[in-house]
Chain A
């Protein structure tokens, strides 16, 4: 069974501080991992996915198959990063996503 765990419901940091949002997954096949972000009163939108290995808005995430993790990191948080972040796991053969419960990131000035 697919499972995504985001252990932190809320992460509060000061502007300029490093950020790491944790995500662990459970999947027997070859996973595809994503981070989605939901800003206040807006729709969910894709932030990044592991296969593209890119940096979006300063965020990066590395898939660690040994630790079954896909933590989201940013070296210097900005106030506009405050949002709800969802880690999601997709199976390789399809597009059905399993979402984690989400982590609320609050960046204070």
Chain B
């Protein structure tokens, strides 16, 4: 069965550059969440979308923005990258009203 697809798997950028991560949820899942997991840290919630509208916001820096498109895929845009942005970025999706998240494999961002 199709899972949550994240792209790219790995991304290397330099400081002050921009990066875009993409997330394709499971079909019929209309809620998407973004989590950031730094080295040796627990996943931190960044932002979520439901039906293409932002539904909740966590510890997402102002340099980051995200949106959900009409086909329910989501993109996380990161600008003015800092070394501390190096992390594994998880996307998860769920059915409406469900608390069970299905996570993607993650996109690993390395900022040099």
Which A residues contact B (CB, under 8 angstroms)?
A: 32, 34, 42-46, 49, 86, 90, 94-102
- Select from chain B the residue with minimum beta-carbon distance to A45: B103
User: Of B10-18, B37-45, B76-84, which binds chain A?
Assistant: B37-45
- Select from chain A the residue with minimum beta-carbon distance to B93: A95
B99 A90 Cβ-Cβ under 8 A: yes
Q: Tell me whether A95 and B106 are in contact in the complex, defined as CB-CB below 8 angstroms, given that A100-B42, A101-B41, A102-B42 are known contacts.
A: no
B58 A96 Cβ-Cβ under 8 A: yes
- Select from chain B the residue with minimum beta-carbon distance to A33: B99
Contact of B45 among A34, A43, A44, A98 (CB under 8 A): A98
B90 at the interface (CB under 8 A from A): yes
In this complex, the interface size class of chain B, counting residues with CB under 8 Å from chain A, is: 20 to 34
Assembled-state Cα–Cα distance A45/B90 (Å): 12
Q: Tell me whether A44 and B103 are in contact in the complex, defined as CB-CB below 8 angstroms, given that A94-B56, A95-B33 are known contacts.
A: yes
Q: Top 7 nearest A-B pairs by Cβ distance?
A: A101-B42, A44-B103, A90-B99, A43-B105, A99-B42, A99-B43, A43-B103
Assembled-state Cα–Cα distance A100/B37 (Å): 12
A44-B103, A96-B48, A97-B99 given; 7 more Cβ-contact pairs under 8 Å: A32-B99, A43-B90, A43-B103, A94-B56, A95-B33, A96-B45, A99-B42
**Which residues of the partner chain A approach B101 to less than 8 Å between Cβ atoms?**
46, 95, 97
**Which residues of the partner chain A approach B3 to less than 8 Å between Cβ atoms?**
43
Sample (5) of A-B pairs whose CB atoms are under 8 Å apart? A34-B100, A94-B55, A96-B45, A97-B99, A100-B42
